[in-house]
Amino acid sequence: MTLDTQHSAAFFDGRSNKRRNVTLRLRDKLEIAEQDAVIESWPYDEVRRADGPPQLLRLRCTGALPLARLEITDTATQGIVAAYCRSLDLGGASAGQTWRIVGWSLAAVCSILLLVFFGIPFVADRLAPALPFALEQRIGDAVDKQAQALFGGDTCTATDGQAAFTKLVDKLRVAGGVEIPLEAHVVSSKIPNAFALPGGKVYLLEGLLKKSENPDEIAGVLAHELGHVQHRDSLRKIIQTGGTSFLIGLLFGDVTGGSAVLFVGRSLFDASYSRDQERAADDFAINVMHKLKRSPKPLGEILVRVTGTEGNSSMTLLSSHPLSEDRLALMSKDAGQAGGPELLSAAEWKALKNICSSRSKAETGPSLFKKKWTW
Ligand SMILES: [Zn+2]
């Protein structure tokens, strides 16, 4: 028991500036003794914390002189005294003040939640375009490594097919005025999908290539992905998700059960781009196809074909998109103006279709492409 243990402290009696070295005794009250004589005793529930430097515990007593102060520097003593004085942080202990504290805490939680849902997207929108490309590339490499580890699919490398693919991507890049260097690959995966990662990485999955009927369909899909690249959408998404987890951590102290649930919910919500971002990528694709004097309609057609055959079951890939039919209608509008040269020759198109006849092994792991990627 600590009943008779003595703890040293400094005492200011509130009448003079004189500092008195005292010892504290934890009896039925907090006794302040000077040379074995008790000079004051403070009821524990009247002891309050007074403003002071963080390493110092400075106390006052609501029943004592207003300027009387007790200063404890020893951390062990601070802990013991704080354990006895349960009302340390109550302003005046009135119910109104307690409610004010509760109110402020709620306000703090609300403002963090507001920040998560509105502030972070706002910051991400402004930060993403300002980030130097070198940094974006590093982020892209990190994400790419994770993607590679989860791939389960190999990179397709047939030489003729790769040449045709590079030619197609390059035409689209020039027409779209995309200045950052691109790294585009076809990956052997049955999922009909395509996506872009930060740093100009564009992936087309074999499943989509198989479902395509002409180069313009693939060109449209890739042009849409270049739109995401140009608008730095994936970078924005990563900043947003990273910022969100940081704030959730702040709110809950660490990633506990509750925050994990919230965070997972939020990342699921985040897993696709916003409708506005999708629309902007579609507009970008339409523009690129117009510049090449090719119809954007095939993009709409492959979208309808893919969603038509896949249904709604596992295809989150289009859930956040505007309806495929609407997109097809949008892309069909100016289709008549198309009369430019073919993007790929028949031989090149055949080679691209066969690009996965040769592959380079990727690290194996659970497939990344089961559900969540969006194009
Ligand atoms: Zn998209």
Residue 215 in tokens: 């180069």
Distance 137 CA to ligand 1 centre (A): 20
Distance 19 CA to ligand 1 centre (A): 71
Distance 257 CA to ligand 1 centre (A): 32
Distance 352 CA to ligand 1 centre (A): 22
Distance 261 CA to ligand 1 centre (A): 26
Distance 343 CA to ligand 1 centre (A): 22
Taking only the tens place, the pLDDT of each residue in 36-76 is 899 999 999 899 988 888 888 999 998 888 889 999 999 88
Ligand 1 (ion): residues with CB under 5 Å are 278, 281, 375
Taking only the tens place, the pLDDT of each residue in 299-339 is 989 988 887 644 444 444 444 455 677 788 888 886 666 78
Distance 79 CA to ligand 1 centre (A): 57
Instruction: Give residue 196's pLDDT band: very low, low, confident or very high (50, 70, 90).
Output: confident
Query: Distance between CA atoms of 276 and 122, rounded to whole angstroms?
Result: 14
CB 292 within 8 A of CB 340: yes
pLDDT surpassing 90 at residue 169: yes
Distance 130 CA to ligand 1 centre (A): 22
Q: What is the DSSP string of 58-124?
A: EEEETTS-TT-EEEE--HHHHHHHHHH-TTTT-SS--HHHHHHHHHHHHHHHHHHHHIIIIIHHHHH
Distance 115 CA to ligand 1 centre (A): 25
Distance 228 CA to ligand 1 centre (A): 7
Distance 168 CA to ligand 1 centre (A): 19
Instruction: Give residue 5's pLDDT band: very low, low, confident or very high (50, 70, 90).
Output: low
pLDDT at residue number 91 = 59
Distance 221 CA to ligand 1 centre (A): 9
Q: What is the mean pLDDT of residues 259-281?
A: 60
Could you tell me the sign of the dihedral formed by the alpha carbons of 122, 123, 124, 130, in that order? Answer: positive
Query: Distance between CA atoms of 199 and 234, rounded to whole angstroms?
Result: 9
Distances (CA, A) of 118 to 45, 131, 237, 243: 43, 20, 13, 12
Distance 300 CA to ligand 1 centre (A): 13
Distance 225 CA to ligand 1 centre (A): 6
Strand partners, 6: 25
Q: What is the mean pLDDT of residues 85-104?
A: 70
Distance 107 CA to ligand 1 centre (A): 36
- CA 220 to chain CA centroid, Å, is 29
Residue tagged 């924005």 (tokens):
236
Distance 314 CA to ligand 1 centre (A): 17
Distance 295 CA to ligand 1 centre (A): 19
Most confident of the following: 260-264, 291-295, 304-308: 291-295
Q: Which long-range contacts (CB under 8 A, 24 or more apart) does 264-270 make?
A: 266/116, 266/241, 267/241, 270/237, 270/240, 270/241, 270/244
Distance 176 CA to ligand 1 centre (A): 16
Distance 276 CA to ligand 1 centre (A): 10
Mean residue pLDDT of the chain comes to 78
Distance 375 CA to ligand 1 centre (A): 4
Q: What is the mean pLDDT of residues 218-223?
A: 95
Query: Distance between CA atoms of 150 and 144, rounded to whole angstroms?
Result: 10
Distance 65 CA to ligand 1 centre (A): 69
Distance 299 CA to ligand 1 centre (A): 12
Could you tell me the sign of the dihedral formed by the alpha carbons of 135, 140, 143, 145, in that order? Answer: negative
Distance 196 CA to ligand 1 centre (A): 9
Lowest mean pLDDT among 12-26, 81-95, 98-112, 239-253: 239-253
E-strand spans in the chain? 6-12, 20-26, 30-34, 37-42, 47-49, 57-61, 69-72, 155-156, 183-187, 194-197, 201-205, 359-360
Query: Distance between CA atoms of 25 and 2, rounded to whole angstroms?
Result: 9
Distance 281 CA to ligand 1 centre (A): 6
Distance 235 CA to ligand 1 centre (A): 14
